[in-house]
Amino acid sequence: MYTGKEPMGLLWSMRPVPGSRKGLRLRKINVCTPMLVNISVHSGHEGFRDRTPLASALAERWYMAPGVKRIDINKQGVQGTLFIPPGPGPFPALLDMWGGGAGLLEYRSALLASRGYVSFSLDYLRSEHLSADVEFKYFETAFNIIRNHPQVIPDRVGILGSSLGSMVAFNLTAYSTIIKPRCIVCISSNHYHPPGTTLKAGFKILSKHFHKAHFDENNYMSWRSFALDLIADPSNNVEVGRINCPMLLVNGCDDQNWPTVETAEEVARLLREGGKEHLLSRLAYPGAGHLIEPPFSPHFRATKFIILNSKEKVILLWGGHTKPHSDAQEDSWRKILSFLQLHLYHSPSVKANL
């Protein structure tokens, strides 16, 4: 709900229909078609679904600009979807990774391509990608696939990761001797990655701490409390002080899933101690939760989550309050684009084809 004049309020304030299954989350799967939103005006709030609306309209929300190319990728063992902007190129590029419960999602990459970036939405949570002898190489190979694409400027490739994807971004940038991203953006920052563990092993460690999880009045699970204990041990975390490229951290101050603000503070401390604080930009939003998406996406404080490589389903508490969270999504997207423009496009010889 919202009050006042909000141009996109009818989108970001959407809720599941009363009586729907618990834990639902609205996300666009097929980005080649628009998201259709029926907007109707009714008289009164009770039983309105059984009444004829006073007025109605159909709104379309597109994620791909005209001319953006969508290409399925399945090569060198790597899977995902590549989006290429219209125009002659070459373009800067991004490796785009969502979090632990997402699977393959394409709408952020489609939006980035619509803004002038080749974007590779990476599928990385299938079991065949998570064995110890494959995992790190898998991400390096994915980065090289996009870097070596003929439509990409090879020394202007960044990484954008949300939640678990941000941990992968930290890990790759700190430890890879093969790839050197131009910059990284970490949304809902996570640098927890015990040395020598795979993502699968990391989830197993997390699951051993579930008995310490906090449950709110709705019995929604929060990992934040035991995660604070896990990241308090420096040996559990990526050595972010090894990173030598600009980074932007975007976090919600009401994140109930992971201690992302504390993670950002620790990253800042380590970089400061190493004389690298100039590399860091930070955004922290009061009232925003963990699921910081592109602008005008509906806010969900808690949703269903399937634990990686298990059949266990829980409803995770992500946090956030609708109005400040939605404001954070709009503001952070604008500032993410500015950060990318500065570090991937800013050069006398590189011009954006927007």
Give the SS3 label for residue 229.
helix
Q: Which two tokens stand for residue 67?
A: 């001319």
From CA 334, how far away is CA 119, in angstroms rounded? Answer: 17
Residue closest to 110 by CA, chosen among 79, 145, 68 = 68
From the candidates 109, 114, 163, 326, give the one annotated as an active-site residue: 163
Q: 135-147 vs 164-175: helix axis angle to the nearest 10?
A: 80
From the candidates 129, 149, 193, 290, give the one annotated as an active-site residue: 290
From CA 150, how far away is CA 90, in angstroms rounded? Answer: 7
Contact 240, 172 (CB under 8 A): no
Tell me whether residue 50 is one of the annotated catalytic residues.
no
Tell me whether residue 290 is one of the annotated catalytic residues.
yes
Tell me whether residue 155 is one of the annotated catalytic residues.
no
Q: Give residue 199's identity as a one-letter amino acid code.
A: L
From the candidates 193, 255, 325, 326, give the one annotated as an active-site residue: 255
Q: Which two tokens stand for residue 25?
A: 């989350």
What lies within 8 Å, CB to CB, of 321 at 6+ separation is 254, 287, 289, 299, 301
Contact 158, 96 (CB under 8 A): no
Query: Catalytic residue positions?
Result: 163, 255, 290
